[in-house]
Amino acid sequence: MIVVLAGGVGAARFLQGLVQVVPQERLTVIVNTGDDRDFYGLHVSPDLDIVMYTLAGVVDETHGWGIHNDTYNTMQQLTRYGNENWFMLGDCDLATHIHRTNLLRQGKTLSEVTEELCKRFSLEMRILPMSDQPVATHIQTPAGLLHFQEYMVKRRCADEVQDVVFVGANESRPAPGVLDAIKEAEAILIAPSNPIVSIGSILAVPGIHDMLHETSGMVIAVSPIVGGAPIKGPADKLMRGLGMEVSAVGVARCYRDFLDVMVIDEQDKHLLSEIENLGIPAVTTNTIMRDDAGRIALSHAVLEVAGLE
């Protein structure tokens, strides 16, 4: 079994390659839910949906989120009713949030709802939320403590980052199957996701960090920072705000307690020795995934590192 720790778009693109190289049944994906938020009373799980939609082949490839060719009629009408509209939710996409919210209100857990949605999308890998309890990533800024979506989407990452807080994390538990999957995996791959808010939130769920340390499976991370900048998203602002170096070295430091191998981009090969000085072996490959061939090549490279190819 192979476990992947996943955020949103970067992880989904990595997984698009991985499923072409490894049978889906061998994969367990543990997904960040720190970005989850209610909109209009509906439970939205952005990263779960990005991963699901991408692997189901229905994602809007341009945005990396949402469903392709979606319309925005419901949201336009909600706006006429005085609701905020800074978080774009298409009509087909809203069906997911309506369905999920309905099942949650009926007493199902987020894990159960996710399993049910995956079945509907004919996905054969196991996709687990990091926790069935709410964990809400917040960014401490001079303007106050902002929910991550408010910081990123509404205010477009304009606020200075002073701290990152995972509200509810201490009271949360790993979703059923998460710890066992990490414990029993041959390899645990940390996708090229934001190390602070995508992977950091997963690590904030009590028990997961320790299990990554304890597992005999090889823990391999792919750096989402290439040439000193993130491929996508605000990882640079968050890392800088927390006083971290915005580089593959900075990412390696986030994972140093449990990381076995760091995979970095070829253009960062000058950082190899610095990472190895942390006691973490590092390898270089092309990590940018410009196209499907690039995604497949990255998966082959990572599996080779894991000794699985």
Nearer to a second copy, 92 or 218 (CB): 92
- 277 Cβ neighbours under 8 A, 6+ residues apart: none
Residue 109 as a binder of a second copy (CB under 8 A): the answer is: no
- Of 229, 159, 154, 151, nearest in space to 197 by CA: 151
Q: How far is the CB of 19 from a second copy (least distance, A)?
A: 21
DSSP 8-state class, residue 289: -
- Contact map string, positions 68 to 107, toward a second copy, x by CB under 8 A: --xx-xxxxxx-xxxx------xxxxxxx-xx-xx--xx-
The residue to which tokens 């823990």 are assigned: 219
Q: Using CB under 8 A, which residues numbered 113 to 142 contact a second copy? A: 117, 120
Q: Which long-range contacts (CB under 8 A, 24 or more apart) does 106-115 make?
A: 109/175, 109/176, 110/33, 110/45, 110/48, 110/175, 111/175, 111/176, 111/177, 114/45, 114/48, 114/52
Residue 167 as a binder of a second copy (CB under 8 A): the answer is: no
The values of phi and psi at residue 66, to 5°, are 75, 175
Q: How far is the CB of 77 from a second copy (least distance, A)?
A: 3
Q: Are 220 and 261 in contact (CB under 8 A)?
A: yes
- Contact map string, positions 39 to 58, toward a second copy, x by CB under 8 A: -xxx----------------
Q: How far is the CB of 111 from a second copy (least distance, A)?
A: 17
Residue 190 as a binder of a second copy (CB under 8 A): the answer is: no
What residues line the site for a second copy (CB under 8 A)? 40-42, 67, 70-71, 73-78, 80-83, 90-96, 98-99, 101-102, 105-106, 117, 120
